[in-house]
Amino acid sequence: MQPRKSIAFADLLREAVTEPGTVSSAYSLFHGYSIGNALAAWSQCKARGIAPGPIGSFNRWKELGRHVRKGEKALMLCMPVTCKRERETEAGETTEDCFTRFVWRPNWFVLSQTEGPSEPPAVSLPDWNLDHAMTALEIDRVPFDHLDGNVQGYARGRSIAVSPIAENPIKTTLHEIAHVVLGHTTGDDTGTLDRSIGEVEAEGTAYIVASVLGVDGLENSRGYLQTWLNGRDVNEKTAARIFKTADAILKAGREEIKS
């Protein structure tokens, strides 16, 4: 997958869901980057037959005593760019607004595209802790009190509950956390978001995070997504929200909780 100008998050999400192992493999090698960028780097390496590995810019490899081989084509990653825009105020004065947009830029190379006398040290995958994540995200666990035995879990406000007989309690917990972080229970989306989109966003997030953490039994998760999609494709906005939320949950679980 190597478009000329950009990469679609929707395509990356589709590949992650349809090809088991893609997320964990990509993130284990590129966990210093967002999940979307990790998948983008992995996908481009696979498409070109390049061995995945540590990644850096041209200048970063130079700092490490290596150089990019002549003729190597850079990988594209998504990066923030600060933009300025002039506008006229109601008083007739001209003011300048700053905003951030995200663009795909071909500025990165993996280790196998470089040469040099030394290699960068291996970086271990950081640990993740559910309690740390919930504390950092300000989400509480409450007793499960739903009478419907088919309900695996639910989220209300900034609280979640998971059935004691849930089929996959870890994945279900991640699903309910995602609902809260996405704003489905606390933000502007409350009561207005189409349920199918909300379930796709929450389950997509849970699937990505669970894949990174090596949670087993995600086959039903893929089926759950297909049920709510009902033959439709995930659009770019939804895919971007899924990746952003998954990054937030993973980051929260790796933050040190100060007493």
pLDDT in tens, 129-174: 999 999 999 999 999 998 787 889 999 999 999 999 998 999 999 9
Per-residue confidence at 256, pLDDT binned at 50, 70, 90? low
**What are 44-102's pLDDT values in tens digits?**
999 999 999 889 999 999 998 999 999 999 999 998 888 887 777 777 777 777 877 78
Backbone angles phi, psi at 105, to 5 degrees: -125, 135
Sequence ranges of the domains in the chain: 9-115, 130-252
**Lookup result for tokens 């406000």:** 157
Arithmetic mean of pLDDT, 24-52: 89
Arithmetic mean of pLDDT, 28-41: 88
Contacts of 187 (CB under 8 A, 6+ apart): none
**What are 171-204's pLDDT values in tens digits?**
999 999 999 999 999 876 666 678 899 999 999 9
CA distances from 123 to 8, 30, 31, 119 (A): 28, 10, 9, 12
